[in-house]
Amino acid sequence: MESIAWDSVDARVRAGVCVDAGADPQHEAQARVIRPVTPEALGARGVLAMVVECRGAPGASLASRLMLETVAGYFERDGPLRAGWLVRALEAGCDAVRGTARRQRFMRGVTVSGAVLLVHQGMASGAFVGSAPLYLLRGRDRYRLSGDTVTQPLSRAVAVTWAQPFMVDADDRFLLCTRAVAGEGLDVLAQRPTADHPQVACNAVVAAARQRTASTALASAMLVAG
Over residues 105-164, the pLDDT tens digits come to 887 888 888 999 999 888 898 888 888 888 888 887 888 887 654 444 444 445 567 667
| C-alpha torsion angle, residues 41, 44, 47, 51 (rounded to 10) | -110
Report yes or no on 19 lying in a domain: yes
Report yes or no on 117 lying in a domain: yes
Instruction: Provide the number of structural domains found in the chain.
Output: 1
Q: What is the extent of the structural domain holding 128?
A: 6-224
- The whole-number pLDDT of residue 139 equals 80
- Measured between its terminal Cα atoms, the distance across the chain in Å is 12
Question: What single-letter DSSP state applies at residue 106?
Answer: G
List the one residue out of 146, 145, 219, 150 whose CA is nearest residue 180.
Answer: 219
Report yes or no on 162 lying in a domain: yes
Report yes or no on 118 lying in a domain: yes
Task: Give the other-Cβ count within 10 Å of 16's Cβ.
Answer: 22
The type of residue at 90 is L
Residues 6+ apart with CB under 8 A from 63: 28, 54, 57, 97, 100, 101, 107, 110, 112
164 vs 195, higher pLDDT: 164
What is the number of helices (H) and of strands (E) in the chain?
Answer: 7, 11
Cα–Cα distance, 138 to 64 (Å, whole number): 30
Report yes or no on 87 lying in a domain: yes
- The whole-number pLDDT of residue 108 equals 81
Q: Report the predicted TM-score, pTM, of the whole model to 2 decimal places.
A: 0.87
Report yes or no on 75 lying in a domain: yes
Report yes or no on 1 lying in a domain: no
- The whole-number pLDDT of residue 157 equals 44
- The whole-number pLDDT of residue 147 equals 63
116-154: string of b/e by CB count within 10 Å (b at 16+)? bbbbbbbbbbbbbbbbbbbbbbbeeeeeebbbeeebbeb
Q: What percent of the chain has pLDDT over 90?
A: 24
CATH assignment at residue 139: 3.60.40.10
Angle at 195 between CA 73 and CA 139, to 5 degrees: 100
Residue 3's Cβ-side half-sphere holds a number of Cα atoms within 13 Å equal to: 8
Identify whether the C-beta of residue 74 lies closer than 8 Å to the C-beta of residue 89. yes
Helices 60-75 and 85-103 cross at an angle (nearest 10°) of: 150
Contacts 24+ apart (CB under 8 A), 189-194: 189/135, 189/137, 189/142, 190/137, 190/142
